[in-house]
Amino acid sequence: MKTELVHRPSMLLGGVGFYGDPFRQKAGWDAENEIGKTCDRFTAYVAEHPVRPYACGVPCFYEVHVYGAETATKGYFEVFVGEEVNTAELPTALSAKFFPASDYLRITLSGEEISGDWWRTLDTELIPAYGVRRGAQFIIQAYDGRFKGMDRLAESTMEAYIPVETA
């Protein structure tokens, strides 16, 4: 696992979402949990719509977890899966989500680290090591050509971005 502080410009995503407990019926990193189903909905949409003039053409898709008041008590959070777009005027099947420019802790994960419990140490070890704190309650996971699929995690790499600010 490699970590570093980076700055990312603002980003507008177009995609699909889910709100609730994504692990209610299947555990983490199971393609049949609600996160996997949301990813499948988005990839099916992309396959059915190969020409998307609103897409920026960045060969990466994003999975964002947005935490809120019901996360701690019920395990509910929003899962949003999408791609970078150039407008919020999207087809009805898609929603837009805007992320402002921010400093982030970028975590590069490879192989079994991807499905590990790295996220459990975010607030206790990883973020404090840089003398910063969370800037917002979401995590962006980026999947580009280095991610080979759920069935090939051992050969895969992904990046996670956690918004941070000076402590």
pLDDT tens per residue across span 83-130: 999 999 999 999 999 999 999 999 999 998 988 888 788 888 899 999
CB-CB contact of 18 with 38 (8 Å): yes
Residue 33 pLDDT: 79
Per DSSP, helices labelled H in 59-126 are: 69-74
pTM for the whole structure: 0.90
- 30 has a pLDDT exceeding 60: no
- What pLDDT band is residue 11 in, cutting at 50, 70 and 90? very high
Assess if CATH 1.20.58.100 describes domain 2-166. no
- 36 has a pLDDT exceeding 70: yes
Fill in the DSSP letter of residue 85.
Answer: B
DSSP bridge partners of 9? none
